[in-house]
């Protein structure tokens, strides 16, 4: 038996990403978001949503660029801090002792200490209710070399990104490996 | 030191959701996606991306509705199966022994056996490269009563949704609780 919760943004899992931008003065800022996801494979693109009132909104509109910075679970306090404070009043890079690195491909900074980062060029933005949905073309993904697996790809168990449970306001880690995509489903196909 | 991977959809975490729709004949279909996320808080809205070639594309365009069905980790084989086969050729509900339930609020079916489902009405769609980005207004969220915590909210550790690691093609479970959002970041604020 299912219980109705009504029209709520109650859906698992949500990501925890810090959006890196430069403000008008060229100072770096990082704002935490949980509303977002990959939105196209070709060109590779990702979408994130922000309210107009956020400092990052103006920064993206001006520079047409942002980074997505994936925190490791031992950086979850930093991630939470960057969602509680505003770049309008606070230098969050100083506050959280983070190092801003100018991206190679776009006009936005990434967080040196974070294990996985993505450089995005603004493609377009769509107004959806109180949020603006920013669609960014992925220009590059950079990952700490110590976080790669034997296959040369990033290892999610080393990066240990953070999962967000909306409504619960809970952060969680990533757990055990469950299986290979586009493979384990063969079991059902073979049964028919 | 970071290694560049180039312009790739390599970003952790991605969700694993099954999109429930009715086809022209009124038969239910379920298609697995990893490209998507919440996109607005008010009205509550969620975005998912699909290629035009997918059966679900036409179904959403015709019925202006879809459900998001969150599999539990013990349903990951079903989730993978529904991403490997097409409703054009296969009755996936029969194949995976799933029960289609007509949604209360929209013209799309949800999967009875899945722990968390969301009913969405199509608000708009945006073309982004090879994908169409469907933006749905969330009309209701339904969760199995046995999966609720003592606070009355869904318990992510009971639901055990699936995380996807793109490029690795790996499914993972959700791991341990890391802390409360909009709270643990206070530590850094207090330190200043």
- φ/ψ of residue B133, rounded to 5: -100, 110
pLDDT of residue B163: 98
A134 within some domain: yes
| CB B51 within 8 Å of CB B130 | yes
A46 within some domain: yes
Contacts of B89 (CB under 8 A, 6+ apart): none
How many helices (H) and strands (E) chain B has is answered by 5, 13
With b meaning 16 or more CB within 10 Å and e meaning fewer, what string describes B152-184? ebbbbbebbbbbbbbebebbbbbbeebbebeeb
Residues of chain A positioned with their CB less than 8 A from the CB of B38: 9, 11, 14, 34-36, 49, 166
Flag if B170 and A181 touch (Cβ within 8 Å).
Answer: yes
**B3-42, pLDDT tens digit by residue?**
999 999 999 999 999 999 999 999 999 999 999 999 999 9
User: Residue A178 pLDDT more than 80?
Assistant: yes
A85 within some domain: yes
CA dist B97 → A122, A171, B186 (Å): 43, 33, 48
State which residues form the domain around A98.
14-190
Bridge partners of B179?
A171
Distance CA B30, CA B98 (A): 10
| CB A128 within 8 Å of CB B39 | yes
A9 within some domain: no
Flag if A4 and B140 touch (Cβ within 8 Å).
Answer: yes
User: Residue A190 pLDDT more than 90?
Assistant: no
pLDDT of residue B190: 87
Q: Taking Cα atoms as reference points, which of B15, B174, B19, B35 lies closest to residue B111? A: B19
pLDDT of residue A191: 80
Flag if B139 and A7 touch (Cβ within 8 Å).
Answer: yes
| CB B95 within 8 Å of CB B33 | no
How many structural domains comprise chain A? 1
B26 within some domain: yes
pLDDT of residue B137: 98
Distance CA A48, CA A58 (A): 14
Residue A150 CB neighbour total at 10 angstroms: 6
**A91-133, pLDDT tens digit by residue?**
999 999 999 999 988 999 999 999 999 999 999 999 999 999 9
Q: Please state the pTM of the whole predicted model.
A: 0.97
Question: Tell me, what CATH number does B29's domain have?
Answer: 2.30.110.10
A5 within some domain: no
Q: Which of A123, A172, A173 to mutate to test the interface with B (most CBs of B within 10 A)?
A: A172
Distance CA A120, CA B91 (A): 39
Q: Taking Cα atoms as reference points, which of A11, A15, A9 lies closest to residue A164? A: A15
Q: Which of A4, A6, A10 to mutate to test the interface with B (most CBs of B within 10 A)?
A: A10
Strand order in the sheet with A170-180: A14-15, A163-165, A170-180, B170-180, B163-165, B14-15
B174 within some domain: yes
> ipTM strictly over 0.85?
yes
**A74-90, pLDDT tens digit by residue?**
999 999 999 999 988 99
B8 within some domain: no
């Amino acid at each position: 038996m299912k219980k109705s919760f009504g029209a709520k943004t109650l859906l698992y899992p949500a990501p925890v990403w810090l959006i890196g931008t430069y403000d008008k003065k060229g100072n770096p800022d990082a704002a935490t978001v949980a509303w977002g996801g990959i939105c196209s494979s070709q060109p590779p693109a990702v979408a994130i949503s922000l309210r107009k009132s956020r400092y990052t909104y103006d920064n993206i509109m001006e520079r047409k660029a942002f980074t997505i910075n994936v925190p490791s679970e031992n950086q979850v306090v930093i991630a939470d801090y960057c969602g509680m404070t505003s770049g309008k009043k606070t230098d969050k890079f100083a506050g959280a002792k983070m190092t801003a690195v100018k991206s190679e491909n776009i006009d936005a900074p990434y967080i040196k200490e974070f294990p996985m980062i993505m450089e995005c060029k603004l493609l377009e933005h769509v107004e959806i209710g109180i949020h603006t949905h920013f669609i960014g073309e992925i220009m590059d993904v950079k990952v700490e070399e110590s976080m790669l697996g034997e296959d040369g790809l990033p290892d999610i168990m080393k990066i240990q990104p953070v999962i967000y449970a909306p409504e619960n306001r809970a952060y969680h880690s990533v757990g055990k490996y469950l299986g290979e995509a586009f493979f384990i489903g063969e079991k059902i196909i073979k049964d028919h």
